[in-house]
Structure 1
Amino acid sequence: MAAGMVDCWDATVNQVERNTVMETTLWRELPEHLLDMVLAGLPVQSLTRFRSVCKRWESMLLSPNFLKLCAGRQSEKPWFLFSGPSGECIAHNPNSNKWVIFPLNFLPSFKSVAAASRGLLCIKGDDDRIFVCNPLTRSSVELPPMSIQRENPVMGLVVDKDQNSFKLIVTSSFYDSLRASDVTTEVYDSVSRSWKLIDSRLSRFPLQREALSYNGFLYSAGCSTVLVYDVNNEMWNQMDSPVMELGVTGPKLDTTVLPKICECKGRLLMVAITVNSALVITRVAIWELAQERSSARWKEMEVLPAPMLEEVVRLLPHGYLSNLPQYSGNDDLMCLVIASSRVLVHCISHRTWYWLPPCPFVREFGPKAFAFQPIPSALV
């Protein structure tokens, strides 16, 4: 190498080294309130990584000033959250169209995600332990034991963003009985930090184990009925499921798989998948709860086109449905997990269907899907 080129190379290397030292010194000496402003402006997905930079940055996730700045930022679109076959918590970020993993190893016990609402997750652990956590800040609280031991309850999480509080509603029958007279409900209030037993008075109990929190109500769907819990008045009500009406629109010999309530931009929706006697999917429909004068009833709003339905059937192992499908509403999108780890998405406003990119972390998802709004300022 010529002498002039060597001198030029050395000068360039020295400049890079000086810039690196300057940048390191700059960030180290930057006032904390300015650093808070810079970090609070980062995409939410970046917040899951910068805690590994140093202990100071990790502790900043819980600082009052940082949380206040995050609370004032514009919310990103909600993410789709899935459970993996070994309990992993996996999410798809529609803002970047990328998959991420939420490590939940900061919890002392973890089996599955039971509910999600406004940045918080309800986690079921071993030995009936229940946790509520914010996976972004890794803050968590373990709830005290309930008064009644329950098997496979309906669980719903309701977050009050104004009061920075939450309620967990848990309802089930004794010993997994399906008799409505055996159904009881307990509500945990983060303000009082205690459980309260509620008089359920249900005439029917659905098989669904998940519930949707929306606008002060909790919705849980079964094949013949939809349970609606009024959080403020602590009362259960019931409405018919659209599945009751499928005898008119679908073949009488076909069966509708257990549906689920979703919410998209303030619209309550339900997915109804119909299968024949061989468990081959024959129809996928989306229903909307429409208000008509003084009453509300379900109306069919969308049906999966035949070419896309054929593609779904081809992706299923052996061509038939072997596991219960999972659904989740997310802003203007609804996702359907029907075939292993492939996620079918319906855009409500554009009335289009498409597939999410394959998840690189797992070969198939577990039996849960949620809409998750990543909110660093959500407190437990």
Structure 2
Amino acid sequence: MEQDQSQVVKKTRKRKLLEEGHGMLGLSLDDLNEDLLERILSWLPTSSFCRLRSVCKRWSSVAASATFQLACSQVPSRDPWFFMVNPHLNQSIVFDTAEKNWKNLNYPLPLQQIPNCNAIPVAAAGGLICFRTNSGDFIVCNPVTGTCQELPPVGLASLNQNLHAVAMISSSKYSYKLILVFGELPCLCVKIYDSSENQWEEEGKIYRKAKSFLESDSTGDDTMYFLSKAGDVVATNMQRSPSKQYSSVVAVKDGEEIIYFLSPAGMVVACKLSKKCFCEYPRLLPMFFEYSIDVIECRGEMMVVVLSEFLESASLRVWRFSEVDQAWYQIAAMPPSMSHEFYGKKADINCVGCKDQILICVNSSELSGYVLYDMGANEWVELPKYFVNGEAKEFMSAFSFEPRIEACV
């Protein structure tokens, strides 16, 4: 008898849950007010935003609504996209880390329609990417919406100097700064564009820190030659993809913004903007071990990725610098079964970091590949090729950005 009663109770509860479930299923999105609908749709993956207009008239109006963009801005973060750069700079291909697939932006970026522009991407932050034209001017674009803005001219005085680094800082979803570092070591200058003021600040000098880690004042050509132990002449591979020749990152340490970039000698230079000073970090490896190197920002700090060869094998490792010990420490290494493929290929690496992920583009005349490293899971994954009409496309480098339709240029 007690068992029968318990079964009746279970059935009653089950029936009640089913009835409540049917009630919820009977609720249509059409029954929601505009504000609630916008809040719900704002949490959709960014890749679905471009399809909102084709669902129905109401959703199409939501996609164009200013309040919908405000709702999107309330979403704390979105999984990054990697904007890929191909040799001809004529495609807008991204890798979506949320859906783990390639996407072709369905429109040419407006800057690609500007005659004789020949713009190449040079920096990214937040939801924006910065392009530099062949005339030395800059264009900032939101790759998701296609909107772009040409920044005021930098000025002839700055254009005539050697440009070392181009970095972006996204202070909010509605403002950003573009930072240029140029000059000749040891005399460097910095110039900053503030989007909130829509103007460039006055050029400022930055000086070498009294206690610097400088090992060499070499500012000559980017290639260094040396004799291997076997007596062969070897050249370090310091060539950069055209879009990464100003490879630089920004990290905030103790509330201070620091720009890191690679000198022509392959050393990491750190510029502290507030203190108007810079220093060089010690060389990571002896010169004859260094093969290809790139600087990245990951987990809010600067790191470097190095591809080197030793004892008939290739290794790809991630390093960070300890200010306390004044030394480099290895924090990750690609499995030898993957990195050995690069041995003897004279490959160049171009890398970009975002949150816990590092994308590494490996290119040479013999191979082209892309590897994604997840620091949290300590996983190395080789990305699939991107095919167009049965042909695999090659990418030289990538820039990471947070896909947001509300990001303002």
- TM bucket normalised to smaller: 0.7 to 0.9
Deviations along 1:254-307, one digit per CA (max 9) or x if unpaired, are 3332x2222232343211122479xx9733221022353xx6532122333322
Residue 141 of structure 2 contacts residue 148 of structure 2 at CA under 8 Å; is this kept in 1? yes
Counterpart of 1:39, as a letter, is L
SS at match of 1:95: coil
SS at match of 2:110: coil
Specify the alignment match of 2:95 in structure 1: 92
Give runs of aligned pairs for residues 259-278 of structure 1, distance below 5 A: 259-275=293-309
Residue 168 of structure 2 contacts residue 178 of structure 2 at CA under 8 Å; is this kept in 1? yes
Aligned residues: 330
Specify the alignment match of 1:15 in structure 2: none
Shift of 1:34: 5.0
**What runs of 5+ residues in structure 1 fail to find an aligned partner?**
1-25, 314-318
TM-score by length of 2: 0.70
Specify the alignment match of 1:22 in structure 2: none
Residue 156 of structure 1 contacts residue 218 of structure 1 at CA under 8 Å; is this kept in 2? yes
Shift of 1:198: 1.4
Deviations along 1:76-107, one digit per CA (max 9) or x if unpaired, are 22222221222123221121111112344323
TM-score by length of 1: 0.75
SS at match of 1:188: strand
Shift of 1:201: 2.7
Match of 1:228 among 266, 270, 285: 270
Deviations along 1:302-341, one digit per CA (max 9) or x if unpaired, are 333322122344xxxxx5225x311111322222111454
Shift of 1:70: 0.6
**What runs of 5+ residues in structure 2 fail to find an aligned partner?**
1-28, 209-213, 223-244
Match of 1:328 among 352, 357, 361: 352
Counterpart of 2:352, as a letter, is S
Matched, 1:298 2:328: yes
Counterpart of 2:49, as a letter, is L
Specify the alignment match of 1:6 in structure 2: none
CA distance in 1, matches of 2:38, 2:218: 48
Specify the alignment match of 2:178 in structure 1: 168
Residue 248 of structure 2 contacts residue 296 of structure 2 at CA under 8 Å; is this kept in 1? no
CA distance in 2, matches of 1:135, 1:64: 18
Shift of 1:188: 0.8
Percent pairwise identity? 23
SS at match of 1:136: coil
Aligned-pair Cα RMSD in Å: 3.3
Residue 109 of structure 2 contacts residue 146 of structure 2 at CA under 8 Å; is this kept in 1? no
Matched, 1:309 2:352: no
Residue 164 of structure 2 contacts residue 182 of structure 2 at CA under 8 Å; is this kept in 1? yes
Specify the alignment match of 1:10 in structure 2: none
CA distance in 2, matches of 1:169, 1:281: 39
Deviations along 1:182-224, one digit per CA (max 9) or x if unpaired, are x432211112211121113358698751111222332213345
Larger helix fraction of residues: 1
Give runs of aligned pairs for residues 106-121 of structure 1, distance below 5 A: 106-107=110-111, 108=114, 109=117, 111-121=119-129
Residue 213 of structure 1 contacts residue 219 of structure 1 at CA under 8 Å; is this kept in 2? yes
Matched, 1:214 2:246: no
